[in-house]
Structure 1
Amino acid sequence: MLRISLLLGIVLMHYAVQAQSNFSSKLIGVGVVVSDIDRSLAFYVNGIGMVKTGSFTINDEFGKRSGLTDGVAVAVTVLKLENSPEANEWKLMSFGKKATHPAQKNIQDDTGMQYITIQVKSLKPIIERLKQQKVVFLGTTPTPLNKDVHFVLVQDPDGTFVELIGPLE
């Protein structure tokens, strides 16, 4: 009986490892279409503290062939929390037009990707930078999650909710 249980455990572990091996990277890159690239870059770089790590252009031919843009060229700016190969990519692009859906006041107001969560070492400098940019803080923030960690909620210029979690200092 012990041998059967051990064999079953080994087989299950093999399938668990196989399922995880489908991906060539553990990172996720997120493409975000924004209405005003300069305003969004100011929010994410100067307010949140992300860094620009690169850029590229999707030309009209590739946009059409790939199905991404139906033949419209677009420049993409790549941001990360730090300039490291282990950091996820937050890719901003703009077609110079406003969103067609209504602005969200709460997460439940729309479908799709609504928010991102960023863990920080200290909320204080980010709060100060966002206040300088006149970013509206939502709810009663910073909200304590425990004696050491607080939660801050803001929205980027296009309404994506940004959760910031970490100690105040």
Structure 2
Amino acid sequence: MKRLLLTPVFLVFALSLCQAQNEVENPAISIAMIASDMETSYDFYTNVIGMVETGGFTVDESFGKRSGLTGGTAYDVKILKLVDDPHSTEFKLASFGNPKEEAGEVIQDKNGARYITIYLKSTAEVLQRIKDHNIKTLGDTPLTFPNGKTFILIQDPDGLFIELIGN
């Protein structure tokens, strides 16, 4: 009898712990990239990396200022994803026409977000697009890991390092 009374109490307690630890609505993180040139970066991410545009929006002057995102400047955002799936990571691309900054040659040259990693089923197609668009691979990449996966390192037009890992 005592065991029967404790079971529901334990279940309610366990469920409340699970709810407290899961505050997120969507497990993917949306990342925003401010590009020096929207067209160049859009071309890179869609035609080299292979992302697809899944939407976009405009932030008007008023919201830009009230939200603290800008000092009152409006801007457009293009939403790119690796696959058009509601749960995949959003890569939001925007531009204010700011001059291109020196990115550095390796990730330790600057602080902040320096690189992203994209896991692919195969690196063959992206490697061909990299070659077709005359994108320089960095270091001695492509490299092959002991598990047989290929590692490629490139930079986007503004210097963000991009790791591409796959078969």
TM bucket normalised to smaller: 0.7 to 0.9
**How do residues 47-126 of structure 1 correspond to structure 2 at under 5 angstroms?**
47-100=48-101, 102-126=102-126
Q: Aligned-pair distance for 1:148?
A: 2.2
Matched position secondary structure for 1:141: coil
Q: 1:11 to 1:160 in 2, by over 3 A?
A: farther
1:16 positional shift:
5.6
TM-score, L = length of structure 2: 0.88
List runs of 5+ in structure 2 lacking aligned partners.
1-9
5+ residue gaps, structure 1: 1-8
CA 1:105–1:19: 2 relative to 1, 3 Å = farther
Where does residue 3 of structure 1 map in the other structure?
Answer: none
Give the structure with higher Rg (CA). Answer: 2
Query: Which residue of 2 is the match for residue 29 of structure 1?
Result: 30
Partners of 2:122 and 2:166 within 8 A in 1: yes
Structure 1 CA distance, aligned partners of 2:144 and 2:20?
38
* Matched-pair contact (CA < 8 Å) for 2:26–2:87: no
Q: Is the 8 A contact 2:54 2:80 kept in 1?
A: yes
RMSD between aligned residues: 2.1
Q: Distance in 2 between matches of 1:109 and 1:10?
A: 51
Secondary structure of 2:45's counterpart equals: helix
Deviations 1:75-116 (A, max 9, x none): 00000000010111000000011245x322101011111100
Q: Provide the C-alpha distance between the structure 2 equivalents of 1:105 and 1:10, rounded to a whole number of angstroms.
A: 54
Q: Deviations over 1:119-165 (max 9, x none)?
A: 00111110111111111100111111124201000000000000000
* Structure 1 segments (4+ residues) deviating >4 Å: 9-16
Distance in 2 of aligned mates of 1:69 and 1:160: 22
Q: Deviations for 1:37-60, whole angstroms, at most 9, x for unmatched residues? A: 111011110001010001100011
Distance across 1 between alignment mates of 2:11 and 2:84: 39
**Aligned match of 2:39:** 38
Q: Any idea what SS the aligned residue of 1:24 has?
A: coil
Deviation at 1:73, TM superposition (A): 0.3
Are 2:160 and 1:155 equivalent residues in the alignment?
A: no
Contact 2:56 2:79 in 1 (8 A): yes
Report sequence identity in percent. Answer: 44
Structure 1 residues 5-16: aligned runs within 5 Å: none
Cα distance in 2, alignment partners of residues 65 and 90 from structure 1: 23
Q: TM-score, normalised by structure 1?
A: 0.87
Q: 1:109, 1:16 → 2: CA distance?
A: 42
Distance 1:23 1:40 in 2: 30
Partner Cα distance (1:19, 1:46) in 2: 41
